[in-house]
Amino acid sequence: MDFNGVEATRIRQEIDHLKSKKRNIEQQISALEAQLNQLEVNSSTVCPQPLSNGDLSNSNGLSPDMIYRYSRHLLLPSFGVQGQANLLKSSVLVIGAGGLGSPALLYLAACGVGRMGIVDHDVVELNNLQRQIIHTEAYIGKSKVESAAATCRSINSSTQIVEHREAFRTSNALEIVSKYDVVVDATDNAPSRYMINDCCVVLGKPLVSGAALGLEGQLTVYNYNGGPCYRCLFPTPPPTNACQRCADSGVLGVVPGVIGCLQALEAIKVASLVGEPLSGRMLLLDALSGRFRNVKLRGRSLQCEACGDDAVLTRQTFSEFDYEKFTQTPLSTVPLKLNFLSADDRISTKEYNEKVRKGDAHILVDVRPSHHYKIVSLPNSMNIPLSTLEGRLPEISAALEKEVNKENGSNTSLFVICRRGNDSQVAVELLHKLGFTSAKDIIGGLESWTHNVDPKFPTY
């Protein structure tokens, strides 16, 4: 890098620093103005105000109710009246009211953020409640935003809650995010993470980013005070099959809970101008071993396509960018539905059920991982996980032979099933290659079994 480059970086850092100071001063000014207004209102009133009036302002701009409600914050020397006043004037947008968003929203509502926005297009489902603790059974089938907003209002009626019951897309992102000071990314997929990052870069908003899966969590603050953005760290999206989802891999409920709480903490620090936000650093949680690791990240990348020196990202290019194509991943969480076998190699769950009822000789191989098989399985199925299939072909041969002998040489069929009908197709294709040419896939897997044959068969 030449001298000009170094100089430009220094100047940019100086500008960022001054902007942050300016914001701080502006917040102090508006706090003082609010105080002044209140004093003028009070002195112009003819009747003396009763002491118990909740709106009566103290010299620090906080009403008696506020002083009482937030007293434990006010008592903190490092937070105090100024931190609380800043918080009360701030606005935070939480994108996603799921495992991360639930605890984040609860704490943000409780702590006295002035205005809070919630974005989500999903409805509450029973299998959310294990971790999405802001929702209750009464809201199953109803909008997550409606449910979360109701809980937040019941905790703190003085915080303004804005409901955005819509999917977060390039078409509405700029308009929504522009109304808030701080953004919390509590989403669950790669395209959303790139989209939210870019939107925050375009609008200059700090982004509190959290993620959790299985027994691990990650937390950092992007695009804050000259620090790196998500694309500085991950300029190229990961391959699609590297992106595990909670719906497939599982997650211990309290893990996103911990990360969501920490997201609330970082949002509070950024909004109240207190402390040292986790910018340029990342907190990694390994819940199984009980370890937190705080690591130092690279700084802002000058080559970053979002925030770098030559970045061409604007409102216009942002709204035209195809994040699903970029990450090769759909924004919606609808599970993947593969369909690559020919119709001759597949049968529906209803057809399979008919064969079972007629007593047709067959072998049913369930290719799910064994910990899935333990949750629930069809009677008389044998569990051979896809990853072990090649090595366990003799077991299939033996089972087929046994069945043939039992049925006096009649045609014995080989069926393959999994959870949703994707892995079973992969397995059937593999079995065909390995000589089991009669293997057939059961379309739609166990989920289809529940939907089309036996509604009492558990889904997960």
Residues flagged as binding site for ATP: 99, 120, 127-131, 144, 188-189
* Mode of pairing for the β-strands spanning 207-213 and 216-222: antiparallel
Q: Could you tell me where the DSSP H helices lie in 170-312? A: 170-177, 190-203, 230-233, 246-249, 254-272
**Quick one: 263 or 424, whose CB is closer to another protein?**
263
To another protein, the closest distance from the beta carbon of 193 in angstroms equals 6
**Quick one: 201 or 417, whose CB is closer to Zn ion?**
201
Annotation: binding site = 99, 120, 127-131, 144, 188-189, 229, 232, 304, 307
152 tagged catalytic: no
Dihedral angle at the C-alpha atoms of 351, 352, 354, 358, nearest 10 degrees? 140
- The residue type found at 8 is A
Annotation: binding site for Zn(2+) = 229, 232, 304, 307
* Mode of pairing for the β-strands spanning 207-213 and 182-185: parallel
Contact yes or no for 445/419 (Cβ under 8 A): yes
Rounded CA separation 288/290 (Å): 6
**Quick one: 200 or 211, whose CB is closer to Zn ion?**
200
Rounded CA separation 230/306 (Å): 9
418 tagged catalytic: yes
From the list another protein, Zn ion, none, partner contacted by residue 26 (C-beta under 5 to 8 A by kind):
none
From the list Zn ion, another protein, none, partner contacted by residue 47 (C-beta under 5 to 8 A by kind):
none
To another protein, the closest distance from the beta carbon of 311 in angstroms equals 18
Contact residues for another protein (CB under 8 A)? 96, 98-101, 186-190, 193, 210-214, 216-218, 233-239, 241-246, 249, 251, 256, 282, 284, 286, 289, 293-298
Max distance between CA atoms of the chain, in angstroms, equals 104
To another protein, the closest distance from the beta carbon of 218 in angstroms equals 5
To Zn ion, the closest distance from the beta carbon of 172 in angstroms equals 23
To another protein, the closest distance from the beta carbon of 132 in angstroms equals 10
Q: Could you tell me where the DSSP H helices lie in 291-444? A: 315-320, 323-327, 349-358, 370-373, 393-406, 423-433
From the list another protein, Zn ion, none, partner contacted by residue 306 (C-beta under 5 to 8 A by kind):
Zn ion
Rounded CA separation 42/46 (Å): 9
Contact yes or no for 304/232 (Cβ under 8 A): yes
Rounded CA separation 356/353 (Å): 5
To Zn ion, the closest distance from the beta carbon of 311 in angstroms equals 8
Q: Which residue's CB comes closest to Zn ion?
A: 304
**Quick one: 101 or 206, whose CB is closer to another protein?**
101
Q: Is 204 exposed, middle or buried (0-12, 13-18, 19+ CB in 10 A)?
A: exposed
Contact residues for Zn ion (CB under 5 A)? 229, 231-232, 304, 306-307
**Quick one: 187 or 301, whose CB is closer to Zn ion?**
301
From the list another protein, Zn ion, none, partner contacted by residue 231 (C-beta under 5 to 8 A by kind):
Zn ion
Q: Which of 152, 200, 261, 418 is catalytic?
A: 418
From the list another protein, Zn ion, none, partner contacted by residue 218 (C-beta under 5 to 8 A by kind):
another protein
Contact yes or no for 422/430 (Cβ under 8 A): no
**Quick one: 190 or 443, whose CB is closer to another protein?**
190
Rounded CA separation 112/262 (Å): 16
What residues act catalytically?
A: 246, 418
